[in-house]
Chain A
Amino acid sequence: GAGVSQSPRYKVAKRGQDVALRCDPISGHVSLFWYQQALGQGPEFLTYFQNEAQLDKSGLPSDRFFAERPEGSVSTLKIQRTQQEDSAVYLCASSLVSGSYEQYFGPGTRLTVT
């Protein structure tokens, strides 16, 4: 079946612009995670949803970062007033809640802030 998809794959934004990154999880997966991967680093947790509820947002680096999943499927990560330090690959992952600890990752969105 279809995996996790993300769009756009690449985004260039001028400093100060707002961006929105989309994640389509695997159908039926109730858990959804966002990670940020800086160049040469491992992914770092940003936030977690179970269905439409955002249960953990401890990894969001500032109040410029906002995520939502209003209908419990598609999720959007929004970054306001982008800064150069926001340049990274943003990865989305989804998983089943019951009986599975595997997270399935999308290809990521590479954000470059100029």
Chain B
Amino acid sequence: AQSVTQLGSHVSVSEGALVLLRCNYSSSVPPYLFWYVQYPNQGLQLLLKYTSAATLVKGINGFEAEFKKSETSFHLTKPSAHMSDAAEYFCAVSGTGTASKLTFGTGTRLQVTL
């Protein structure tokens, strides 16, 4: 079975500071990993995905994540937080079939303060 664990249900950073949202995965097969963002009363938007190509993945809005097999981690980072980054972030894992269901973590709410 596959699963992801997101450490920290709430993270608060100052505007301009580094954003680091943690995700660790558990999978018996090489996983595909995703980060999604959810703004209030909206659906999920894909930020980036890892599908066994480059281990450092760049996404939208300046976010990136690095797949580290030795640490079973896929942490999300952004060098400089912006007020508009305040949202809920979900890490997810899927199998490698072309239409596999996603298993999500419990989410991390990012707060950005002035």
- Spell out A's residues near B (CB within 8 Å): 4, 30-31, 33, 35, 40-45, 48, 50, 56, 59, 91, 93, 95, 97-108, 110
Contact = CB atoms under 8 A, between A and B. Distances in A.
Contact of B94 (A43, A97, A101): A101
Given A35-B102, A43-B44, A48-B101, 10 more contacts: A30-B99, A40-B106, A42-B107, A45-B102, A97-B98, A97-B99, A99-B98, A101-B49, A101-B51, A104-B46
Nearest to B104: A42
Contact of A107 (B41, B94, B99): B41
Contacts of A33: 101-102
Nearest to B101: A45
B65 to A, nearest CB: 15
Contacts of A30: 99
A3 to B, nearest CB: 8
A41 B109 CA distance: 11
B43 A95 contact: no
Nearest to A58: B101
A52 B102 CA distance: 20
Given A98-B98, A99-B98, A101-B32, A44 B43 contact: no
20 contacts: A31-B99, A33-B101, A33-B102, A42-B106, A43-B104, A45-B102, A56-B101, A91-B43, A91-B44, A93-B44, A97-B99, A99-B98, A101-B94, A101-B100, A102-B49, A104-B46, A105-B45, A107-B41, A107-B42, A108-B42
Centre residue among A4, A42, A56, A98 by max chain B CB count within 10 A: A42
Nearest to B96: A101
Nearest to A102: B46
Contacts of B99: 30-31, 48, 50, 95, 97
Contacts of B111: none
Interface string B77-114: 00000000000001010100011111111110000000
